[in-house]
Chain A
Amino acid sequence: MKQKIRRSGFAPVAALCATALLAACSGGGEGRDGPELIRNAVVERFGPNGRGPVRVTPAQVQQLTARATNALILIDFPKTQSNAVLVRIGQNRSVETYATAARQTLSMENGLLRGTRGMGGDLMSADLGRLPQLIARRQSGSTQREVRILNGEDITVRQQFSCDVAVTGTGGAPRVTTMTENCTQQNGNIRFTNTYDVDGQGRVVSSDQWASNYLGQVKIQQLRF
């Protein structure tokens, strides 16, 4: 944690700082974010895996859903074995933004991923082409998508994909239409397959979508609309 020590108690704090040799302290916005940066650098070095996957249990999910008054989703990143429940915190026209308690967000247009934040290696934005219409109408077809990410130098990289969307099945209770989207990168070798379960109103109720090369696939389940 960044030390939030302020003007009061200056002398004892200073003495404490002086004795704890490797602990840097500061106040009033002076100095460096030393301890926090060291900790982060260590986390960067050894990876968040060192902390182990963070998971919510099915019981907790049920509890949260029962208490919720807002739209709610459950996401699962197989790559990091982490899952989380996100609550809707904003809506900009057709794009809804959901957030975790730890200030990570995911933005979707009718359940289709448009961006992530705070996850590391985020999907900055995406242009989905005709995909939202195809999904809503449960129609097969082809479409283009462009995704934008930041590279290690913090420069925006744009990746274009050609995608084929197909209806691959129906079933379940309540009844959903399963749709598959196969995407191939133009001028590159990234390939991914997304699947969407679409309900009778054309809403995506659950999905398995590619977020970015860094994040990999993410499973999204709409717990509450």
Chain B
Amino acid sequence: MPNTLKATLKGSAAVMLAGASLFAAPAGLAEGIPSYNLYGVPGLIDMPTANVSPDATLSITAANAGNHTRGTLSFQITPRLSGSFRYSGISEFPIGGSVDGVYYDRSFDLRYQLLKETDYLPSVVVGLQDFIGTGIYGGEYLVATKEVLPGLELTGGIGWGRLGSRNPFGSTGTRPNVDIGTGGTPTYDQWFRGDAAGFGGVSYSPTEFLTFSAEYSSDTYAQEQQRGEHDDDSPWNFGVDYRFRDGTQLSLYHTFGNTFGAQISFHTNPKSAATPGGRETAPVPVSVRRPGAANDLGWTALPTNSYRQTLTAALENDELVLEGLTLEPRQATVRLRNPRYGQVPQAIGRTARAMTRVLPASVETFVIVPVVEGMALSAVTVRRSDLEALEHSDNAEILARASITDGFGRAPSAFDEVYPRFGWAIAPYTQFSVFDPDNPARADLGIRASASFRPTANLVFSGSITKKLAGNLDESSRNTGSALPSVRTEKARYSQEGDPAIERLTVAHYARPGTNLYSRVTAGYLESMYAGVSGELLWKPVNSRLALGVEMNYVKPRDYDQLFGLRSSETRAGVIPDFNGHVSAYYDIGNGFHGQLDVGRYLAGDYGATVTLDREFANGWRVGAYATFTNVDYDDFGEGSFDKGIRVTIPLGSVSGSPSTDRTTFDIQSLTRDGGAKVLVDGRLYEQVRDYHQPQMAKTWGKFWRSA
């Protein structure tokens, strides 16, 4: 269900396991993926190359050399542009902000390919390293790489910043000092300024599994020498990479003339599911009517209950639910609930196939109205004779003949026995907290019980309780103050006292107030830290790329024990306001990109905007980044300066090869702070609605006959 989209680095063990296997790339993926370096970007050893991974390659690298440990997540955003997020620990570096001599830091890189390699010209890449962090790894480069003989590559480049620290041959202006303060803002005043130095190297791959490399590094590790422990005995680094069949790279290095280093890189690509198209069971064939049978209306004089029962059973066979049916002499309208197929056209296609087998021959028009939380999301109309004629044709042909219109007022009412409906689940969960310098990764493991009760189609009472079994989330004691009310920073205390905890306990009402309109009202214990009332209205025409929404919340902070009590809104640094909310615009930009803009008031009473940009794949994968800018001064915000993060959404259907509506989002937030924070409400409308609308339906239409 779309409500599983909320997960912020938390989820059941099932999800985590599926998440772990997502980096188990299908064979053949390795093709075209270059060697990655200690920074987790295409490179030699510590220096970058101008090699570029295939579009949409998603890589995780863990590396260590000397006092430097780096974990990097890289994504090839477009064929030429890539971005990286890195979390690193520098030991024996006792500067401000370090813990026991270890300095932890986050950094972001961007790389853009200016020139593609040709027979005569090298590939050329320009890179910004650590360009919005504290700047400790800050450096820019222009690098060229050319394969001169089969397997033999030469690389040469110019570096600035820390990549311009050895034997600079020139200088371009003056470079302001590194600002290791709160960090988090673009260091554009430093880019390509100051000393410039050359670096280069050579790599040779005698087989596709093995690469030897040597490089001349232009980085003297000046800061580490000066303020920590680093011996720069040699500018020469040497390495050997071994590449497994699935693309995994394992490397050993000799670095700085005195130490050994190692790294491992895993690669996956949202575009390459393990089994293309999935391995779900086949749909039933379309049943073709006998010529002339369509004129027989004799059935209309008889009871029609058996059609309903047979269709219910046929849909059950595909794990779909027939919630309602209107049968007319020439038209049938189905009210459909889809708990199974993440690719909605597949659910529509399987329903249409079942209808050809069950319904009387005179019924020519099929209207399928998918319903979520009682809301009719769209109405897909197909002609039965088109289904018969096009069963074995290109899926584009049936798409051209189907019409997708607003579902408002189109759904037949639900059968009496469908509601009330009760559901429950018990599952393990894990919850993570990362990037706390005292302990960079913490986790809790426990059991979560959840239940829902729907007295009618539009009304749902639901809740979940957690009981911790093991973990150390509660050990966090870091509370670097901000000048804002503590709306999120008391997380550790919630973790300490909330065991067992009522995570959520709400009543929610969903409706269609009019054409193009969707509404939600949720009241109760909305999330682990806040209780209150949340209301939302969404405008989304069924064929529009644009949607607009407005959300208003009235909240009170919950007691730390997360049972039924509330606590005072007064905190050490101010009062948590009762009201917050946003207006939102959602836009499908095309070419696989999707943007969202939220403008409004955040939990701590700060005003501002959140910009989100995702690269989305038809199979449900998403890789995106967001940033929130509010009227809080960077200094008042505290570490990180403003809220930003990256997120990866994984559809379990694509990972497992078996259809599922489940998806999990791994949200890597730079740090949980009080500024730019939102209340976490379940069941926000846009994600529930869009899969059943254009342009999303057309993107996934290949699955219609895979109903088929």
Which positions in A face B, CB cutoff 8 Å?
A: 7, 10, 14, 17-18, 21-22, 24-38, 40-45, 89-93, 95, 97, 99, 102-105, 107, 109, 114-115, 117-122, 124-125, 127, 146, 148-156, 158, 214
Contacts and interface: CB of A to CB of B under 8 A. Distances in A.
B288 A92 contact: yes
B339 A29 contact: yes
B391 interface: yes
B708 interface: yes
Interface string B693-708: 0000001111101101
A149 B654 CA distance: 16
B282 A37 contact: no
Contacts of A21: 428, 447, 469
A158 B286 CA distance: 23
23 contacts: A10-B424, A24-B14, A24-B426, A24-B428, A26-B424, A26-B425, A28-B422, A32-B4, A32-B14, A33-B662, A34-B15, A36-B658, A38-B656, A43-B657, A44-B21, A90-B285, A92-B288, A118-B282, A120-B275, A122-B277, A149-B277, A155-B618, A214-B276
A31 B286 contact: no
Given A32-B652, A118-B281, 11 more contacts: A24-B13, A34-B427, A42-B21, A43-B657, A117-B281, A118-B279, A118-B280, A152-B272, A153-B270, A153-B617, A214-B276
Contact of A41 (B287, B393, B656): B656
Contacts of B393: 125, 127
A153 B18 contact: no
A148 B395 CA distance: 9
Interface in B131-176: none
B439 interface: no
Contacts of B619: 152-154
Interface residues of B, number: 74
Nearest to A48: B279
B162 to A, nearest CB: 38
Contacts of B617: 153
B656 A150 contact: no
A95 B276 CA distance: 24
A103 B707 CA distance: 13
Interface string B596-615: 00000000000000000000
10 closest residue pairs by CB, A with B: A31-B425, A30-B423, A90-B285, A34-B14, A28-B423, A117-B282, A150-B277, A24-B427, A103-B281, A26-B425
Contacts of B277: 120-122, 124, 149-150, 154
Query: Is the contact region of chain A dominated by helix, strand, or loop, or is it mixed?
Result: mixed
B655 A44 contact: yes
Contacts of B321: 29
A151 B271 contact: yes
B12 interface: yes
Interface string B187-225: 000000000000000000000000000000000000000
Query: Is the contact region of chain B dominated by helix, strand, or loop, or is it mixed?
Result: loop
B423 A44 contact: no
Contacts of B426: 14, 17-18, 24-26
B469 to A, nearest CB: 8
A154 B702 contact: yes
A97 B424 CA distance: 39
Contact of A125 (B288, B392, B451, B621): B392
B702 A124 contact: yes
B662 A37 contact: yes
B703 A31 contact: no
A127 B390 CA distance: 12
Contacts of A103: 281-282
B21 A45 contact: yes
B425 to A, nearest CB: 3
B427 A38 contact: no
B271 A152 contact: yes
Given A28-B424, A124-B706, A38 B282 contact: no
A85 to B, nearest CB: 15
B452 interface: yes
B278 interface: yes
Given A38-B18, A97-B285, A122 B706 contact: yes
B288 A104 contact: no
Given A33-B662, A34-B14, A124-B277, A148 B394 contact: yes
A7 to B, nearest CB: 7
B395 A92 contact: no
**Which residue among B14, B26, B343, B469 has the maximum number of chain A CB atoms within 10 Å of its CB?**
B14
Contacts of B26: 152
B227 interface: no
Given A22-B13, A153-B619, A30 B425 contact: yes
Contacts of A99: 282
A31 B279 CA distance: 22
A91 B288 contact: yes
B478 interface: no
A10 B286 CA distance: 39
Interface in B259-306: 269-288
Nearest to A122: B277
B396 interface: yes
Contact of A37 (B24, B449, B621, B656): B656
B392 A107 contact: yes
A44 B392 CA distance: 28
